[in-house]
């Protein structure tokens, strides 16, 4: 399978300080890749480099086979971007926002009108087409951002914290949209703070910390490496965690304890592994 994204030995320095530090990984065509990390890990900077918004200080980045610095125009034609901050124009209507983006990408009519209609229907905003964006809810604005990012039919979609600040129902609706697009063959890279989002959506997970990739793999691979069973022990107001290769081994360990007070066994999850690796919990 060909690589949709290739990052090789990339650094990004701000004021001579590396915020992305010798980063290398690839994303296969059709893959749903999740980039996870605490605040300041360098996730947004990585997305900004991948989407041509900022240049790497050193190293090579290819997106859809094009070099992001030498062939940024071609890269822009192949990608859709949904950034953290709401980037739609709130003083324009839903349709006008789509129309503007379609013209920017030189999509000719009648194809432009047909695509706008199609994607607004897809994200269930067709009935709000003439409403000003400022009258939409946060979830609707995010759906509009997604529809707009899809208008020029990109091969790869970048989503930077797509569900931050949304209520649980709206998050799940967005998950369905994201999953459906991926099933249709779209390659996706998403950054998030939410472990459940990664567990539900992503084929492969990269964990970043301090500008570096500290872990890469599927969830089953990460669980296998760190231990699939967990013994938790409450000591005062904090919990001590011990990983075991399997849930069975964790249970055997618990059974052998004379005093089981404050102890419990469960299967490990991504959050346990994240905390183990970064020493931090996400907010």
Residues that bind ligand ADP (CB under 6 A): 14, 19, 37, 39-45
Residue entry with tokens 């739609």: 88
Q: How far is the CB of 41 from ligand ADP (least distance, A)?
A: 4
* 50 neighbors 97 (Cβ within 8 angstroms): no
Q: Is 76 helix (H, G, I), strand (E, B) or coil?
A: helix
What is the Cα–Cα distance from 152 to 111, expressed in whole angstroms?
A: 10
| Stated length of the chain | 283
Least separation, in Å, of the C-beta of 205 and ligand ADP? 15
Closest distance between ligand ADP and the C-beta of residue 61, in Å?
Answer: 15
Nearer to ligand ADP, 45 or 268 (CB): 45
Comparing CB distances to ligand ADP, the nearer of 151 and 189 is: 189
For ligand ADP, give the closer residue by CB, 88 or 208. 208
- Backbone φ and ψ for 43, nearest 5 degrees, come out as -65, -50
Nearer to ligand ADP, 126 or 275 (CB): 275
Q: How far is the CB of 232 from ligand ADP (least distance, A)?
A: 28
Q: How far is the CB of 156 from ligand ADP (least distance, A)?
A: 19
Residue 250's Cβ-side half-sphere holds a number of Cα atoms within 13 Å equal to 21
Identify the residue whose tokens are 């997604």.
146
In this complex, which beta carbon is closest to ligand ADP, that of residue 209 or of residue 272? Answer: 209
Q: Could you give the angle at the alpha carbon of 184 between the alpha carbons of 183 and 187, nearest 5°?
A: 80
């Amino acid at each position: 399978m060909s690589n949709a994204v290739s990052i090789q030995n990339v650094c990004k320095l701000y004021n001579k300080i590396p915020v992305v530090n010798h980063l290398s990984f690839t994303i296969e065509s059709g893959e749903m890749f999740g980039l996870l990390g605490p605040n300041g890990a360098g996730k947004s900077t990585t997305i900004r480099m991948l989407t041509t918004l900022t240049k790497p200080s050193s190293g090579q980045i290819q997106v859809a086979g094009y070099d992001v610095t030498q062939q940024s125009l071609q890269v822009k034609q192949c990608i859709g971007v949904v950034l953290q901050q709401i980037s739609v124009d709130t003083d324009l209507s839903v349709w006008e926002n789509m129309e503007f983006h379609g013209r920017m990408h030189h999509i000719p009519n009648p194809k432009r009108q047909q695509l706008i209609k199609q994607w607004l229907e897809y994200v269930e905003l067709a009935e709000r087409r003439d409403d000003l964006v400022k009258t939409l809810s946060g979830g609707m604005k995010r759906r509009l951002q997604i529809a707009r990012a899809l208008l020029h039919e990109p091969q790869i979609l970048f989503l930077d914290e797509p569900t931050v600040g949304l209520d649980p129902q709206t998050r799940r609706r967005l998950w369905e949209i994201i999953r459906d697009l991926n099933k249709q063959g779209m390659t996706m890279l998403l950054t998030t703070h939410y472990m459940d989002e990664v567990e539900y959506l992503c084929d492969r997970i990269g964990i970043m910390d301090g500008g570096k990739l500290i872990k890469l793999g599927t969830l089953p691979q990460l669980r296998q490496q760190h231990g699939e069973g967990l013994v938790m022990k409450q000591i005062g107001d904090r919990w001590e965690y011990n990983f075991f290769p399997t849930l069975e081994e964790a249970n055997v360990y618990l059974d052998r304890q004379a005093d089981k007070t404050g102890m419990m066994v469960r299967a490990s999850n991504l959050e346990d592994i994240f905390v183990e690796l970064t020493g931090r919990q996400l907010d």
